[in-house]
Structure 1
Amino acid sequence: MAALHPPGQPADDAGPVVLDRRQGPHGEVVLRRHGELFQIIANGCFLMDTSDGRSERLLVSAALEALDDVDALDGERPAPRVLIGGLGVGFSLAEAAAEPRWGAITVVEREPAVVDWHREGPLSEVTAEALADPRAELVVADLLDQLREVAGRGDAGGEGRYDALCLDIDNGPDWTVTPDNESLYTPAGLAACRAALTPGGVLAVWSARPSQVFPRNLRDAGFATVRTREVPVVRGVPDVLFLASHHLASRSA
């Protein structure tokens, strides 16, 4: 999720103002404005804001770099397709839309309220241009259900699958937003991720903190190369990106 660490309050700011409050399929979601920042709260837990976004943007650009590593040996793939799991405040989508090399950009978001905030609400100022990109598709669905559907309809050669999965639906594999998200990080969930990728595809997962077990779980799920990349934040431990590939050609950390 974007910017887990709440920003400091300006001295002349009276505090956050609630712009919308919804009861969604997985509990309450709230959009607030705090000065110039937008914040998303889920079930009373601060999830993300628009204060930074470096690691959320890097999630997408690092996945493309990892694909370049694979293609350096296997040959360049035409117009790679990326699936972004979690719309959030829109930084990952905006990063993908700013990169002309992506051939298709699919964003999967399970909260209708978040989608509304981007399509017609205040967060449209972050993603309006990206959502207007003809390569972009926004799907309202549970991420794991979508991955299983993609894996089921793709053939052995990878048709219908994605070259990169960039997942940012939790505070990390060890710190999920809701208990039902835990299934994504199980052996079955990671197998669904791998099956939804083309040969040599890349899985990138955002986390607010390191994990001792997740890299091992990725290897156990069949990913040949697993590395981590830390992104410093203003306060607290660095954000972490986990990058996993089918292929052994990816750069070491």
Structure 2
Amino acid sequence: MLPWIQLDRATIPGDGDELRLKSRGSEFSIMLGSTELMNSRLSGSEEALATLAYERIAGRKNACMLIGGLGMGFTLRAALGVLPDDARVVVAELVPAVVEWARGPMAELHKGTLDDPRVEIHIGDVGGLIRSKSTAYDAILLDVDNGPDGLTRPSNDSLYNHTGLRAAKAALRANGVLAVWSSAPDSAFTRRLREVGFATDEVNVRANGKRGGARHVLWMATKR
């Protein structure tokens, strides 16, 4: 078996923790310490995050989608595959190196999506972007941690508490959807979504789509 090779490392702004990009042949992995945040062989649930969110806003003119976390680009690619030409996608990525990796060693994975005219890349905290906007987005997709807690950095907890969820709701247009990816269920998060006033569906999906894999959870929370 081919060995893993570390290609690069990058400090997460604000807390000093480090992401590491590794490869093994054509396979890529992004690590935080000993935790694998994402792997290029597993894309099904990240793609479903985009397609299921789009189903809830399909037919809207000039739709605007905010994606928190570029990662390996699976969610962005899936979004561009279903969104019409008049749509706009804002991708907020906190770590500048992740965008550099998308244009460099992982360019084949991203397949030119960063150059799509519908795409705007925002280098910075998705939470700050959410808090700065009102009724700006038809969908907000969050895949910046391994679930609704601040894994990659503690300050991300503010995305998932009552205050953060109210900010997301305010940033959504009428009947907009907040979609959140998780590696595991979290009943407390489901309860918080409903307490804030979202109509909430909890969807179980496979890590690798129809090919199976671990079960992941997607929350589809609609602004009522």
Q: Above 0.5 in TM-score? A: yes
Q: What is the aligned partner in structure 2 of residue 155 from structure 1?
A: none
Structure 1 Cα separation of the partners of residues 181 and 192 of structure 2: 15
Deviation at 1:199, TM superposition (A): 0.8
Local SS of the residue matching 2:176: strand
Deviation at 1:33, TM superposition (A): 0.1
Amino acid at match of 2:177: V
Q: Indicate the larger mover: 188-197 or 225-234.
A: 225-234
Q: What is the aligned partner in structure 2 of residue 222 from structure 1?
A: 197
1:202-221 aligned at under 5 Å gives the runs 202-221=177-196
Structure 1 Cα separation of the partners of residues 125 and 33 of structure 2: 18
Scaled by the length of structure 1, what TM-score is found? 0.81
Q: What is the aligned partner in structure 1 of residue 6 from structure 2?
A: 18
Contact 1:24 1:111 (8 Å CA) reproduced: yes
Can you give the 5+ residue segments of structure 2 that lack an aligned partner in the other structure? none
Q: What is the aligned partner in structure 2 of residue 171 from structure 1?
A: 146
Structure 2 Cα separation of the partners of residues 230 and 47 of structure 1: 19
Local SS of the residue matching 1:67: coil
Larger Rg belongs to? 1
The structure that is strand-richer by fraction is 2
Identity rate, percent: 39
Q: Does 1:43 align with 2:33?
A: yes
Q: What is the aligned partner in structure 2 of residue 239 from structure 1?
A: 216
Q: Indicate the larger mover: 125-134 or 202-211.
A: 125-134
Amino acid at match of 1:227: D
Q: What is the aligned partner in structure 1 of residue 102 from structure 2?
A: 118
Structure 2 Cα separation of the partners of residues 79 and 88 of structure 1: 25
Q: What is the aligned partner in structure 2 of residue 53 from structure 1?
A: 43
Q: Indicate the larger mover: 95-104 or 165-174.
A: 95-104
Contact 1:191 1:221 (8 Å CA) reproduced: yes
Q: What is the aligned partner in structure 1 of residue 130 from structure 2?
A: 147
Q: What is the aligned partner in structure 1 of residue 54 from structure 2?
A: 64
Deviations 1:61-109 (A, max 9, x none): 10011224xxxxxxx4213110000001110111112224260011001
Deviation at 1:125, TM superposition (A): 1.4
Structure 2 Cα separation of the partners of residues 205 and 219 of structure 1: 14
Structure 1 Cα separation of the partners of residues 162 and 36 of structure 2: 28
Q: Does 1:190 align with 2:178?
A: no
Amino acid at match of 2:69: G
Structure 2 Cα separation of the partners of residues 144 and 22 of structure 1: 20
Contact 1:232 1:239 (8 Å CA) reproduced: yes
Amino acid at match of 2:9: R
Q: What is the aligned partner in structure 2 of residue 154 from structure 1?
A: none
Structure 2 Cα separation of the partners of residues 80 and 23 of structure 1: 33
Structure 1 Cα separation of the partners of residues 63 and 83 of structure 2: 10
Structure 1 Cα separation of the partners of residues 191 and 105 of structure 2: 40
1:127-146 aligned at under 5 Å gives the runs 127-146=110-129
Amino acid at match of 1:63: A
Structure 2 Cα separation of the partners of residues 148 and 123 of structure 1: 31
Deviation at 1:245, TM superposition (A): 0.4
Scaled by the length of structure 2, what TM-score is found? 0.91
Amino acid at match of 2:191: R
Question: What RMSD over aligned residues (CA atoms) do the two structures have, in Å?
Answer: 1.6
Structure 1 Cα separation of the partners of residues 128 and 121 of structure 2: 15
Deviations 1:5-54 (A, max 9, x none): xxxxxxx32x2100112233242111100232111012342111100201
Q: Indicate the larger mover: 135-144 or 39-48.
A: 39-48
Structure 2 Cα separation of the partners of residues 65 and 94 of structure 1: 16
Can you give the 5+ residue segments of structure 1 that lack an aligned partner in the other structure? 1-11, 69-75, 152-157, 248-253
